[in-house]
Amino acid sequence: MLAYIVRRVLQFIPVALLTSVIIFVGVRLAPGDPAELLAGPDPSPQVVAAIREKLGLDQSIPLQFVLWLKGLATGDLGRSMVNGLPVSELLVQRLGATFELAIAALILSLLAGGALGIAAGMRPNSLLDRLISALTALGLSLPLFWTGILMIMFFAVQLRWFPVAGQAPLSAGPLAVLASLALPATTIAIGNAPVIARFLRNEIVEMRRSDHVRTAYAKGLPSHVIVRDYVVRNSLIPVLTVAGIILGHLIGGSAVVEIVFSWPGIGQLLVTALSNRDYSVVEGAMIVAVGAFLLANLLVDIGYGLLDPRIRSSYDK
């Protein structure tokens, strides 16, 4: 098992390094000279040069990269070019909001996706299965920003059940927090529950055909026990891994939903920073989003290896 984990972590390092190179180079390819942006309108060349020196932009690109990596390792990502705040501070602030939304969305996705998946998987090719299949197809096809706007239109503007946008602070009480979470989390869940439902359905259909389930039937176990202990439980293990991947995806991937609901998360930070050409913030937000995605994948793979000995052994060959 240790060999598997070590090997998987070793695979992670070059990919993580390469992605940071891509982000670093990408940001430097973006239009606009940060030194000139910082210097304000009509700066003298001396001012621009001084700023460039202060930011370390006069160094060679490889040296800049090494210095940047060093900063990354110590948590120093520079300062926002717009408001001068340390980027790491901004990211930590925003990460809380993003996590809150991601966790709420994941819980909703698991509940809805789980229920639909089990219902469909227990009666494959029945009317119910087809209905759920159609429903999941619709969920996968809805653009999340449209779902979000529709949610606002019906539940916030017309019915006034929930706030239109924004995140309620914890001090506003649990009810206000949940109310502000409800619409964005449901929006994300509408896009992700179908993934879980379809996956779980296929797992269950396969599991019910497997030898150990047939044996359980043959030895006369009551079918609700078989379903609970043999079919559903075993099918849930891989679902957890899907949930992990979805969670990793949501850290940066919910940018569009965060924009629709003015949710102060990493995605919104990234998009605003892009339109302000605040590149140090763009860099930081990208690193966090991609890092979360990579880390989630790594943990999912390790978790999978822990739970399923067959995965481990295929690596030991």
Give the type of residue at 165: A
Kindly tell me which residue out of 120, 204, 226, 232 binds another protein, with binding defined by CB under 8 A: 120
Question: Which of 50/245 has CB closer to another protein?
Answer: 245
- Minimum distance from CB of 184 to another protein (Å)? 14
Stretch near another protein under the rule CB under 8 A, chosen from 40-48, 57-65, 78-86, 134-142: 134-142
Kindly tell me which residue out of 46, 74, 171, 275 binds another protein, with binding defined by CB under 8 A: 275
Q: Looking up tokens 């940018």, which residue turns up?
A: 255
| Residue 138: CB atoms within 10 Å | 11
Question: Which of 232/260 has CB closer to another protein?
Answer: 260
Q: Looking up tokens 């990354």, which residue turns up?
A: 72
Kindly tell me which residue out of 78, 110, 118, 129 binds another protein, with binding defined by CB under 8 A: 129
| Residue numbers 27-46 binding another protein by CB under 8 A | 29-31
Q: Does 4 bind another protein (CB under 8 A)?
A: no
Q: Residue 124, SS3?
A: coil
Q: Does 137 bind another protein (CB under 8 A)?
A: yes
Q: Does 143 bind another protein (CB under 8 A)?
A: yes
- Cα–Cα distance for residue pair 182/90, rounded to 1 Å: 25
| Residue 146: CB atoms within 10 Å | 12
H helix and E strand count, the chain: 15, 0
Q: Residue 231, SS3?
A: helix
The structure tokens listed for 241 are 């891994």
| Residue numbers 190-249 binding another protein by CB under 8 A | 195-196, 198-199, 201-202, 238, 241-242, 244-245, 249
Q: Does 274 bind another protein (CB under 8 A)?
A: yes
* Nearest C-alpha neighbor of 269 from the set 88, 16, 67: 88
Show Cβ contacts of residue 168 under 8 Å, excluding neighbours closer than 6 positions.
176, 177, 179, 180
How far from the centroid of its chain's Cα atoms is residue 135's Cα?
23
Binding site for another protein (CB under 8 A): 14-16, 18-19, 21-23, 26, 29-31, 120, 124-125, 129-130, 132-133, 136-138, 140-146, 149-150, 152-153, 157, 195-196, 198-199, 201-202, 238, 241-242, 244-245, 249, 252-253, 255-256, 259-260, 270-271, 274-275, 282, 286, 289-290, 293-294, 297, 300-301, 304, 308, 311
